[in-house]
Amino acid sequence: MINSREVLETINMISNENLDIRTITLGISLRDCCNPDVKLLSQKVYEKITGVGRDLVKIGEEIERDFGIPIINKRISVTPISLIAESCQGDITQVAIAMDKAASELGINFIGGFGALVHKGYTKGDRRLIDSIPEVLVRTGQVCAFVNVATTKAGINMDAVTHLGGVIKGTAELTAENNSVGCAKLVVFANAPEDNPFMAGAFHGIGEPECVINVGVSGPGVIHSALKKLSPEADFSQVAELIKKTAFKITRMGQLVASEASRRLGIPFGVVDLSLAPTPIIGDSVARILEEMGLEKCGTHGTTAALALLNDAVKKGGVMASSHVGGLSGAFIPVSEDAGMIDAVKCGALSLDKLEAMTCVCSVGLDMIPIPGDTSEHTISAIIADEVAIGVVNNKTTAVRIIPVIGKTAGQQVEFGGLLGGGVIMPVNKYSSTVFAKRGGRIPAPIHSLRN
Amino acid sequence: MRAVITVIGTDKIGIIAGVSTILADASVNILDITQTTMQELFTMIMLVDISNANVSFEQLSSRLSEKGDDMGLKIRIQHEDIFKSMHEI
């Protein structure tokens, strides 16, 4: 009746290899909260979030206890605020403050959805919302912002890309006292998924139901440990097989927790996001998995191929373990949140250019990268343009979450704290992109977007 | 409802007695026990039925974990489903 080997394998994954559920994210529609009076709108937003999310943390903790698996974050994503605040004329930061208050009340650590979808163009409300982002990220603690500036279908809104360069720089300056950490709560997307449970880019898309439970799994440590046991002579077919099998097991945990959370909360299950999400703690690194495949340091030649194999094998293993897969579903490479990536940057093995190449084969993009504080807003816009172009042309999600750390230069150390980690400021290209970044307009959708 | 109790640590006298006493007091029925020593580590795994338990899962879990602390062992109780879902299709 008991298979000791299986029981001990599961326990070992949890206690020694950092297997955990990274997040249970409750998506809530706020479309019924619209009101022209910003005070009433904010009040409705607060009441809806605290009402629907009332039991999220309690149930999450119960599941942790009953199954003995850590659930690191309980979070909430909401309808993009640009949509519900479009007809309201007041100070939009009040809505974000109401979201923040609701998050504190519920005991969750982040709430996502303060954002806009402007891949083809702006409405007046979109522009107002994007302009308010720096102030919102300073005045709130738990609110995360996003802007979708490109899709494969619509192309790239270069006006928005130019705008966002300034918004990121503005946020960095306003939070300069804390290493410009406000920028860690802002994601610029191409092809943003509507059901992503991971922060800072989570929002409850317009095709989503009234409310929904999405779960993000983790487990780089488990895959790393499994690969360590493989002989160095094992070929890549064997490596891929092993990752698939391990990803299957990890994802089954996610599916179990998602079904349980859905049942206990009485809220429909949405998706399991098959992402390998690292944390700064030792033994929870995606970079170490790549190195285990035979690379001296993450970032050296071969890294992109290793990551492509990893990303594909995780999906193939995970997809059969879950009834619905969605969100970002791919390995994450957030530099400051991954001990192996931090080491690789420190020793000069991993550059911004290599990271850009790596984002072609995995999710999500240039993530949690500290860059010099004197980087111009036009250079930031050009970095965004490059990254979203990869997403648009390859029909995948890409994103940029970079942090120009005010007062710091390339090579200096920076600490953001907690799950956000820290690391070394990475240099950017010193040549100007100003004329490019200021050109504006739209980069047309690629020819292969015309599939009908 | 069934749960799996695992005891991991250095072997010593009274482990089974200690755990069984807690279970008997809580009206928890033992369905199966296996015991092995792997890499000098003593491991005991018990499958139990907690349907008629007279204490909450939380209380049972903390009693077992306290017993483990007393004896220098790690004692966990987890719903059976976590193992079934990971290893069975």
Residue % of chain A over a pLDDT of 90: 88
Scanning A53-82 for CB atoms below 8 A from B yields 65-69
Measured between CB atoms, which of B36, B46, B81 is closest to A256?
Answer: B81
Burial of A395 (0-12, 13-18, 19+ CB in 10 A): middle
Residue A70 CA to residue A39 CA, distance in Å, equals 38
Say yes or no to pLDDT of A281 above 90: no
Q: How far is B4 from chain A (nearest CA, A)?
A: 9
B61 interfacial to chain A (CB closer than 8 Å) = yes
Which residue, A108, A181, A191, is CA-closest to A147?
A: A191
Query: Which residues of A are less than 8 Å from B8 in CB distance?
Result: 11
Q: State whether residue A255 sits within 8 Å of chain B by CB.
A: yes
Q: In this complex, is the C-beta atom of B58 within 8 Å of any C-beta atom belonging to chain A?
A: yes
**Mean pLDDT of the region A83-102:** 95
Chain B contact for A122 (CB, 8 A cutoff): no
Write out pLDDT tens, residues A307-353: 999 999 999 999 999 999 998 888 899 999 999 999 999 999 999 99
Nearest to B42 by CA among A226, A19, A2, A8: A8
Lowest mean pLDDT among A202-206, A248-252, A365-369, A416-420: A416-420
Q: Hey, are the CB atoms on A66 and B57 less than 8 Å from each other?
A: yes
Which pLDDT tens digit goes with each residue over A99-123? Answer: 999 999 999 999 999 999 999 999 9
Q: How far is CA A143 from CA A138, A166, A335, in A?
A: 10, 20, 22
What's residue A428's pLDDT? 97
Which residues on B lie below 8 Å from A66 (Cβ)? 57, 78-79
Average confidence (pLDDT) over A175-190: 96
> Cβ B43–A69 below 8 Å, yes or no?
no
pLDDT at residue A418 tops 90? no
pLDDT in the model for residue A1: 63
| CB proximity A4 to B under 8 Å | yes
Which residues on chain B are in Cβ contact (under 8 Å) with A215?
A: none
Residue A40 CA, distance from chain mean position: 31
* pLDDT tens digit sequence for A296-306: 999 999 999 99
pLDDT of residue B11: 85
Strands, DSSP E only, in A66-110? 71-78
Interface check B1 vs A, CB under 8 A:
no
Q: What is the pLDDT of residue A440?
A: 95
Mean pLDDT across the stretch A6-16? 89
Cα atoms in the Cβ-side hemisphere of radius 13 Å centred on A343 = 15
Given a cut of 90, whether residue A238 has pLDDT beyond it is yes
Q: What is the mean pLDDT of residues A126-150?
A: 97
Whether B31 sits inside 8 A of A65 (CB atoms) is no
Contact A253 B85 (CB under 8 A): yes
Q: State the count of interchain CB pairs (< 8 A) between A and B.
A: 64
Taking CB atoms and an 8 Å limit, are B38 and A8 in contact across chains?
Answer: yes
pLDDT at A442 over 80: yes
Spans of chain B, pLDDT less than 50: none
Mean pLDDT score across all residues of chain A: 95
What pLDDT is stored for residue A72 in this prediction?
92
Q: Is A3 on the interface with B (CB under 8 A)?
A: yes
